[in-house]
Amino acid sequence: MSQPKTVSLFIQCLVDSMFPEVGEAMVNLFDRLCIPITYPADQTCCGQPAFNSGYRKQAAEAAAHFLNVFADAEVIVCPSGSCVHMVRHHYPLLFEDDPAMLQRAQQTAAKTFELSEYLVDILGITDTGSTYAGTVTYHDSCHLSRELGIKEQPRQLLRNISGLHFVEMNDSEKCCGFGGTFSVNYPEISTAMVDDKLDAILASGADTVTGCDISCLMNIKGRASRRGEKLQVLHIAQLLEPVHGGSHE
């Protein structure tokens, strides 16, 4: 059996600054699977907020830094579909007039994967040996499902978690209303959207909601808290992590 490639962890800003337990879960998961990992400490934001706000020059600067930091990576894995989408689809756009940088962007894009995608499609792993006592539903985040086409991979992983009862919610692909700067610029619309999402989650009978993007989950968790709803909100990495996967509160 060949030695698995070393995974370079690409940790989303929100995970790094607000939800480090998601990054820790990834480390524990890869350790359990005997997959070598590294964390390039010089990594910063991938540039998506700047790009989405129209600041292409600043986004290109962040992208160039990212390409330098991950230049020697064998494979790059991130717990965020939106950040992976940025690297795969928007980095080539940012450097379309610079052949040398475009080539680097395309090479990096080809080795960058979202966590569930990497486990299922690249490694062929659908059971991480985790356990979880609870009824769980899954939220399809927009960039992950619509732009990257990643829908079944997370569900395959969830269905193989021992003790977990998986249920689908209605309109699982409907946006939660976060949308990065959208929720800041249009708070009333965003709140109405997350209320619809939260209603669908609760109607499913699930006591836990999960997803592959902590930004969406943060939005859902915040609204659930403000409404006084009792709901466990966990990133999929936390459910897949064999060490703590069974600790449902």
pLDDT, one tens digit per residue, over 187-230 is 899 899 999 999 999 999 999 999 999 999 999 999 999 999 99
In angstroms, the CA 191 to CA 229 distance is 15
Strands 7-9 and 75-78 come out as parallel
Reported as half-sphere exposure (CB side, CA atoms, 13 A), residue 96 has a value of 6
- Taking the CA atoms of 114, 120, 123 and 126 in sequence, report the sign of the dihedral they define: positive
| Secondary structure string (H, E, C) spanning 100-127 | HHHHHHHHHHHCEEEHHHHHHHHCCCCC
Distances (CA, A) of 76 to 38, 113, 114, 210: 10, 6, 9, 22
In angstroms, the CA 38 to CA 29 distance is 13
**Residue 149 Ramachandran class (φ > 0 left, ψ -120 to 50 alpha, else beta):** left
In angstroms, the CA 28 to CA 241 distance is 6
Closest CA to 69 of 10, 5, 115, 4: 10
The model carries a pTM of: 0.93
CATH topology classification for 127-240: Rossmann fold (3.40.50)
Rounded to an integer, the average pLDDT of 2-29 is 94
- Reported as a single tens digit per residue, the pLDDT across 103-162 is 999 999 999 999 999 999 999 999 999 999 999 999 999 999 999 999 999 999 999 999
Domain boundaries, the chain: 7-121, 127-240
- Reported as a single tens digit per residue, the pLDDT across 47-71 is 999 999 999 999 999 999 999 999 9
State the pLDDT confidence band at 3, using cuts at 50, 70 and 90.
Answer: confident
- Reported as a single tens digit per residue, the pLDDT across 83-106 is 999 999 999 999 999 999 999 999
